[in-house]
Amino acid sequence: MAVDKLGALTNALDPAAILVADDDMAPYLADWRGRYVGRAQAVLRPRSVEQVSAVLRWASETRTPVFPQGGNTGLAGGATPDEGGTGIVLALGRLNRILDIDTAGNTMVVEAGAILADVQRAADDAERLFPMSLGSEGSCQIGGIIATNAGGINVIRYGTTRELVLGLDYVLADGTIVHGLKRLSKNNTGYDLRHLLIGSEGTLAVITAAALKLFPRPTASASAFCAVSSPQKAVDLLSLLRQRLVGRISSFELMCDGEMGFVLDGDVGGDLRLPVAERAPWYVFIEVADSGEEAVLVEMLTAALGEAIERGYVLDAAIAQSEGQAKAIWHLRFAVSEANRRAGPNVSHDTSVATADVPAFLAEVSTTLADRFPSVRPLFVGHVGDGNIHVIALFPHDSFADRAAFETAASAVNDCIFGVVDRFHGSISAEHGIGRSLARRLPDHTDKAAYRLMNGIKQLYDPLGILNPGKVLLRG
Ligand code: FAD
């Protein structure tokens, strides 16, 4: 785009806010998985809410599509512009200040472009915990996790992003700034619009700042790694730990041995070793945290896992004896996305079912995939405590002549797995969102009246259809 096409908007932005050269724009035009590559006239990087407002006012006047982007780690293609090349990417990364931390009220206010890991650190410096944690936390932004209602590994204890947001500032498609940074636990004044924005994936407004909930920082934590024989044993273990360690479980993750093989052999960096003596069919990653003495917590976890071994729920277990060992355990879990990226062409799913249904669901997915796609290797990893299992259908290398052949196969695999999800009354997108990759699927997996209402809300917030077109909903 010639910069002069931006007209008067250039006066509202500083020069560093405008990228038009191909090389400068490239990192903003492809998604993290490299599945989608779009085009744009410019990447605009505002550093104030007023600049965001000016961009959106200009976009409305010129009917320019706007693709909001945070850390660009989303896994649903939501932040990538389309191939048309007429739109702009609105990258929020320079709007990244930590504005306030209130230790009395346990809240903090941050701008939308703040990186999640920086927000966690700022909370930690104030001896508080911001509990959202996921593999992309070094890159993803607060606006991105809110716009996708991200989950991560601590949902079992602290809930999804939705439960961590008290208030939001955002800018509407026409440039209107909506101020809603209240830090109230109770506020029943009409419709709570913040919840519409959470999970809206950049299709309703651009989030510019958030008031977040903080928690007391645990003084003790312990991590364990267990080998188990089946998903049912993992669910039995979870149920036992919930009884014995009431309220202290912060993470409870499941991984199949096939996935572990790719992590251990995938050359993804770091010291990757199996924490138990022998490979097993399944593994569970556990973190518990509390406000007391660490030794007491470790003793409770040791006793509970001892009981689980006696009951036959666990084959073998390792409890981390140091922070380094705990990090090594969790590195295995966090290396999954990178390992899968290298493992071969794969179709990844973000399904959820009721936790008790996880074993039957995984069994049916395995059987159905084996029947329909004998060359596909199913891999499973996920947040079993939330019933959220990522099913990865891995094809052998060189299975596809081109991208189109892969997309056709991916669609058939989706049909197959989503059919099982529906039979279990589950969700086709537990935490990654709909973005572009599932927009076509949403109407078939949502109540028809609810889908109509979603379209009505979109029309109200974004009548010109300029905000993230083609994402979530099929229309504009
Ligand atoms: P982006 O990818 O930039 O954008 C995501 C969506 O939000 C897009 O639709 C975009 O338009 C919109 N958006 C971004 N910022 C704004 C804003 N300020 N205002 C309005 N809309 C905006 N997700 C999980 O839920 N749980 C996990 O455990 C998890 N693990 C991951 C591990 C890895 C290694 C990777 C790469 C991703 C993982 N993800 C996970 C997915 C991803 O990190 C999350 O979806 C994250 O919330 C996206 O944040 P982001 O800032 O990168 O957003």
pLDDT in tens, 437-450: 999 999 999 999 99
Query: What CATH number does the domain containing 32 carry?
Result: 3.30.43.10
Nearest atom in ligand 1 to the alpha carbon of residue 147 is 7
* Alpha helix segments (H runs only) across 9-48: 9-12, 22-29
pTM score > 0.85 for this model?
A: yes
User: Is 441 within the bounds of a domain?
Assistant: no
How do strand 88-91 and strand 66-69 relate by DSSP bridges? parallel
Final residue belonging to a domain, choices 91, 115, 141:
91
Ligand 1 pocket, residue 168 CB under 6 Å: no
DSSP helix, strand, coil percent of the chain (3-state; round to 5): 40, 20, 40
The pLDDT of residue 7 is 80
User: Is 452 within the bounds of a domain?
Assistant: no
Give the total number of structural domains in the chain.
4
Nearest atom in ligand 1 to the alpha carbon of residue 201 is 9
How much distance in Å is there from the Cα of 334 to the middle of ligand 1? 16
Residue to mutate (ligand 1; options 90, 140, 207; most atoms within 8 A of CB): 140
How much distance in Å is there from the Cα of 148 to the middle of ligand 1? 6
Distance of alpha carbon 476 from alpha carbon 459, whole angstroms: 9
Residue to mutate (ligand 1; options 45, 48, 75; most atoms within 8 A of CB): 75
Final residue belonging to a domain, choices 402, 423, 444:
423
Distance of alpha carbon 404 from alpha carbon 382, whole angstroms: 29
Please report, as a single letter, which amino acid is at residue 319: I
Nearest atom in ligand 1 to the alpha carbon of residue 75 is 41
- Separation of CA 270 from chain center: 23
How much distance in Å is there from the Cα of 266 to the middle of ligand 1? 24
Q: Which H helix or E strand runs over 437?
A: none
User: Is 471 within the bounds of a domain?
Assistant: no
Same domain (yes/no): 194, 106: yes
Final residue belonging to a domain, choices 160, 182, 216:
216
How much distance in Å is there from the Cα of 47 to the middle of ligand 1? 20
Question: How many CB atoms sit inside 10 A of residue 452's CB?
Answer: 12
User: Is 395 within the bounds of a domain?
Assistant: yes
Q: Whose CA is nearest to atom 35 of ligand 1?
A: 136
Nearest C-alpha neighbor of 3 from the set 45, 53, 42, 34? 42
Ligand 1 pocket, residue 355 CB under 6 Å: no
Same domain (yes/no): 279, 350: no
User: Is 126 within the bounds of a domain?
Assistant: yes
Query: What are the E-state strand segments in 268-425?
Result: 282-290, 316-319, 346-348, 351-352, 377-383, 388-394
Same domain (yes/no): 102, 72: no
The pLDDT of residue 240 is 98
Q: What is the dihedral of CA 116, 66, 49, 212, to 10 degrees?
A: -30
Q: Which H helix or E strand runs over 181?
A: none
Q: Where in the sequence is the domain holding 33, given as residue range(s)?
A: 3-91
User: Is 401 within the bounds of a domain?
Assistant: yes
Query: What CATH number does the domain containing 273 carry?
Result: 3.30.70.2190
Instruction: Give the 3-state secondary structure of residue 249.
Output: strand
Query: What CATH number does the domain containing 150 carry?
Result: 3.30.465.10
Distance of alpha carbon 162 from alpha carbon 204, whole angstroms: 16
Same domain (yes/no): 159, 226: no
How much distance in Å is there from the Cα of 40 to the middle of ligand 1? 20
Instruction: Give the 3-state secondary structure of residue 105.
Output: coil
* pLDDT beneath 70: ranges in the chain: 1-4, 476
How much distance in Å is there from the Cα of 73 to the middle of ligand 1? 5
Nearest atom in ligand 1 to the alpha carbon of residue 170 is 19
User: Is 28 within the bounds of a domain?
Assistant: yes
Residues in the chain: 476
Distances from the Cα of 172 to the Cαs of 55, 251, 261, 452, 464, in angstroms?
A: 11, 36, 47, 21, 11
Same domain (yes/no): 291, 397: no
The pLDDT of residue 476 is 45
How much distance in Å is there from the Cα of 144 to the middle of ligand 1? 5
Same domain (yes/no): 264, 359: no
> In 290-304, which positions are buried (b, 16+ CB within 10 angstroms) versus exposed (e)?
beeeeeebbebbeeb
